[in-house]
């Protein structure tokens, strides 16, 4: 009996052991080291570092205007990217699920943007937005969005839309794949049974498809939002945070502080601040997810 | 309604392919025409010089092979390890479960740029800097958390009853997982494979920082060779990018069988 109990007690940990080992060694230990940078002031010339405690945290709270600005930009960048990626991704997943002629050829092509390295995505869209090399300024002029064919990326009021459009292009396939797979795991029998009861179309979508896809929807929204908030490459390549910090998000600011100003200590403080905010978001969504999984 | 479907798919195709088409155009445009012709849909003359340079003169076949080895190995390793973890998270209630999930989530929240140096130190310790194996281990670790969540949600969706029935019939838990539950979760496995493969295929930062030898470079790092301090070789870069999309298309064409098939086997009937 006691043997049975230990096995029952230990079994989940056998399944989890490889994951924990990988994550502990290659993610968690480095992460803790990275966090510890926040308490040191790095001196590049002498190559030494001094322990300064919480000094660098007060700098963040007292007088960092770029941080508060980049925080608002992060919110806009994340919300807009996520909203369009998810909406279009769900739409695409549902159409792909229905199937159509030529789907075997078209489907892999639609997934391609997800496989393009992010700096190449940035470069590609820089070309597209530039009136000397790309078609988009003329398209915007033709649509009446712009008066003259100008570079969207050099307009401080709207520049953020440039990287957002590039990010939407990149992220639709992610949601499409995940949501398509989730939709595919719903057995057809459920829909058949429902249609006998006279439930179909939009009602079936609301009462069967959405609730059964909810766990996947929530986990993808949760993780994807965290990734987007941390996703600096496209912005660095396209605008480098400019013009006038109008596309500066916290992640690009961290990159700039660490690798341009070589201030790893303060970059770590900024990272911890971002981590803290993302944790609040994560805990909130995680709670919702737990409710939903126990419900389903 | 039927036409509407095709209209939407066409819109998606146009949005997806137009930037790719633009890169294709750049890759075929002779260098001297690149900026002189203005914005045109198709250059007055095309050339395959850039493709020749990438495929024959450069190291790109090597880079693609390295990328393929790294991405495929990472995808398979992550999918296996994450299936086990996702299964545990889905089927067992145990102390520490919330802690594990929280830990997995937190690993996703810290900017990669801040952990590069510490990871480099870990790799130095296990003597795997500057090797594909080291890169595979790092990619595996960083792709695991999301893959675990994903597999968990797919296992949550698969009925426990069939598995329990199999265990009553004498299967061990692992056998029941392998024979009953995994086949039901094929779409999820396909999606995980596809997700991890492409993530590894396109990763630049780690590849750039941890790999120095030309012979060990992956394609995104190799493509940075076209960006020198003073100029960018747009034509060759575009050609390399177009070429890099082909293996991915083939991979997805293969993977989609899993995603689409899913429950068609009818395991739940009766």
ipTM: 0.86
CA distance B63 to chain A (A): 14
The β-bridge relationship of strands A48-51 and A40-43 is antiparallel
- Report the pLDDT value the prediction gives residue B256, as an integer from 0 to 100: 77
Put simply, the chain A residues between 4 and 63 with a CB less than 8 A from any chain B CB are 9, 11-16, 18-20, 22-23, 25-31, 33-35, 37
- Report the pLDDT value the prediction gives residue B38, as an integer from 0 to 100: 74
- Which uninterrupted H or E stretch holds B177? none
- Which uninterrupted H or E stretch holds B153? helix B132-157
Candidates B22, B237, B249; nearest CB to A112? B249
Name the average pLDDT for chain B: 86
Burial bucket for residue B45 (CB in 10 Å: 0-12, 13-18, 19+): exposed
Joined tokens for residue A238: 């396209």
Candidates B23, B148, B260; nearest CB to A19? B148
- Which uninterrupted H or E stretch holds A49? strand A48-51
pLDDT digits 0-9 by tens, A120-153:
899 899 989 988 888 899 999 888 888 888 888 9
- Report the pLDDT value the prediction gives residue A252, as an integer from 0 to 100: 94
- Report the pLDDT value the prediction gives residue B207, as an integer from 0 to 100: 92
- Which of these, B163, B139, B255, lies nearest to A181 by C-alpha position? B255
Between CA B22 and CA B41 the distance in angstroms is: 8
Asked if B157 and A186 come within 8 Å (Cβ–Cβ), the reply is: yes
Candidates B19, B118, B263; nearest CB to A185? B263
Put simply, the chain A residues between 56 and 115 with a CB less than 8 A from any chain B CB are 88, 91-92, 95, 98, 100, 104, 106-115
pLDDT digits 0-9 by tens, A199-225:
878 888 888 888 888 888 988 998 899
Mean pLDDT (whole number) for A226-231: 92
Contacts of residue A18, Cβ cutoff 8 Å, sequence gap at least 6: B81, B84, B85
Mean pLDDT (whole number) for A268-295: 82
Put simply, the chain A residues between 182 and 241 with a CB less than 8 A from any chain B CB are 182, 184-189, 212, 215-216, 219, 222-223, 226-227, 230, 232-233
Angle, helices A118-129/A161-184, rounded to nearest 10 degrees = 130
Contact B222, B59 (CB under 8 A): yes
Between CA A229 and CA A221 the distance in angstroms is: 12
Contact A128, A134 (CB under 8 A): yes
- Counting one residue from chain A and one from chain B, the pairs whose CB atoms sit within 8 A come to 284
Between CA A252 and CA A261 the distance in angstroms is: 12
pLDDT bin (cut points 50, 70, 90) of residue A116 is: confident
Mean pLDDT (whole number) for B247-251: 83
pTM over 0.80: yes
- For domain B58-265, the CATH superfamily is MetI-like (1.10.3720.10)
Candidates A23, A25, A134; nearest CB to B39? A134
Does residue A142 belong to the interface with chain B, where contact is any CB pair within 8 Å?
no
- Report the pLDDT value the prediction gives residue A293, as an integer from 0 to 100: 60
Does residue A282 surpass a pLDDT of 70?
yes
More confident residue, B83 or A287: B83
The residues spanned by each domain of chain A are 65-295
φ/ψ of residue A231, rounded to 5: -90, 100
Joined tokens for residue A201: 């179309």
Between CA A236 and CA A81 the distance in angstroms is: 16
φ/ψ of residue B229, rounded to 5: -60, -30
- Which uninterrupted H or E stretch holds A53? none
Does residue A178 belong to the interface with chain B, where contact is any CB pair within 8 Å?
yes
Joined tokens for residue B115: 């952990």
Between CA A136 and CA A151 the distance in angstroms is: 9
The residues spanned by each domain of chain B are 1-47, 58-265
CA distance A162 to chain B (A): 14
Does residue B184 surpass a pLDDT of 50?
yes
pLDDT digits 0-9 by tens, A54-101:
888 888 888 788 899 999 999 999 999 999 999 999 999 999 988 888
Between CA A122 and CA B223 the distance in angstroms is: 14
More confident residue, A50 or A113: A113
Pick from B17, B114, B154 the residue to mutate for testing the A interface (most A CBs within 10 Å).
Answer: B114
Does residue B269 surpass a pLDDT of 50?
no
- Which of these, A219, A229, A220, A224, lies nearest to A271 by C-alpha position? A229
Candidates B107, B154, B245; nearest CB to A185? B154
**Which fold, A65-295?**
MetI-like fold (1.10.3720)
Joined tokens for residue A262: 């070589």
pLDDT bin (cut points 50, 70, 90) of residue B261 is: low
- CA–chain centroid gap for B219, Å, is 13
Contacts of residue B163, Cβ cutoff 8 Å, sequence gap at least 6: B176, B177, B180, B181
Asked if B250 and A108 come within 8 Å (Cβ–Cβ), the reply is: yes
Mean pLDDT (whole number) for A8-32: 88
pLDDT bin (cut points 50, 70, 90) of residue A227 is: very high
């Amino acid at each position: 009996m006691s043997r049975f109990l230990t096995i029952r007690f230990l079994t989940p940990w056998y399944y989890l052991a490889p994951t924990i080992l990988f994550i502990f060694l290659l993610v968690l230990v480095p992460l803790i080291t990275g966090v510890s940078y926040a308490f040191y002031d790095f001196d590049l010339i002498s190559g030494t570092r001094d322990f300064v405690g919480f000094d660098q945290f007060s700098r963040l709270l007292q007088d960092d205007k770029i941080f508060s600005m980049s925080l608002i930009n992060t919110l806009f960048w994340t919300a807009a990217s996520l909203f369009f990626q998810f909406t279009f991704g769900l739409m695409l997943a549902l159409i792909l699920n229905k199937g159509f002629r030529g789907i075997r050829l078209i489907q892999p092509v639609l997934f391609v943007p997800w496989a393009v390295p992010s700096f190449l995505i940035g470069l590609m869209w820089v070309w597209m937005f530039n009136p000397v090399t790309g078609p988009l300024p003329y398209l915007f002029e033709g649509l009446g969005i712009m008066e003259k064919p100008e570079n969207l990326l050099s307009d401080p009021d709207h520049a953020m839309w440039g990287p957002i459009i590039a990010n939407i292009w990149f992220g639709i396939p992610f949601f499409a794949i995940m949501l398509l797979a989730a939709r595919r795991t719903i057995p057809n029998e459920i829909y058949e049974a429902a249609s006998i009861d006279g439930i179909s179309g939009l009602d079936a979508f609301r009462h069967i498809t959405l609730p059964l896809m909810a766990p996947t929807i929530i986990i993808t929204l949760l993780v994807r939002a965290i990734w987007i908030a941390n996703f600096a490459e496209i912005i660095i390549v396209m605008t480098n945070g400019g013009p006038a910090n109008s596309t500066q998000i916290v992640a690009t600011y961290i990159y700039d502080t660490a690798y341009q100003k070589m201030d790893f200590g303060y970059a770590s403080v900024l990272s911890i601040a971002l981590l803290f905010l993302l944790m609040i978001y994560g805990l909130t969504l995680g709670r919702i997810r737990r409710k939903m999984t126990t419900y389903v | 309604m039927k036409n509407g479907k095709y209209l939407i798919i066409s819109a998606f195709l146009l949005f997806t392919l137009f930037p790719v088409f633009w890169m294709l155009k750049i890759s075929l445009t002779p260098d001297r025409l690149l900026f002189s012709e203005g914005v045109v849909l198709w250059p007055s003359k095309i050339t395959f010089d850039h493709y020749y340079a990438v495929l024959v003169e450069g190291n790109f076949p090597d880079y693609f092979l390295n990328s393929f080895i790294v991405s495929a190995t990472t995808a398979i390793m992550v999918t296996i390890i994450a299936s086990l973890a996702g299964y545990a998270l889905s089927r067992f209630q145990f102390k520490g479960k919330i802690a594990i999930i929280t830990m997995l989530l937190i690993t996703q929240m810290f900017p990669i740029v801040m952990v590069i140096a510490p990871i480099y130190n870990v790799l130095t310790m296990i003597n795997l800097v500057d090797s594909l194996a080291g890169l595979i281990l790092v990619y595996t670790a960083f792709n695991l958390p999301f893959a675990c969540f994903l597999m968990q949600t797919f296992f949550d969706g698969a009925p426990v009853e069939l598995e329990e029935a199999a265990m009553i019939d004498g299967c061990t838990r692992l056998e029941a997982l392998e024979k009953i539950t995994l086949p039901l979760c094929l779409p999820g496995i396909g999606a995980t494979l596809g997700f991890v493969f492409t993530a590894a295929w396109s990763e630049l930062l780690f590849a750039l920082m941890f790999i120095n030898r030309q012979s060990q470079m992956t394609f995104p790092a190799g493509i940075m060779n076209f960006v020198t301090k003073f100029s960018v070789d747009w034509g060759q870069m575009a050609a390399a990018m177009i070429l890099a999309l082909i293996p991915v298309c083939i991979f997805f064409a293969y993977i989609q069988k899993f995603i689409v098939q899913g429950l068609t086997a009818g395991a739940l009937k009766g």
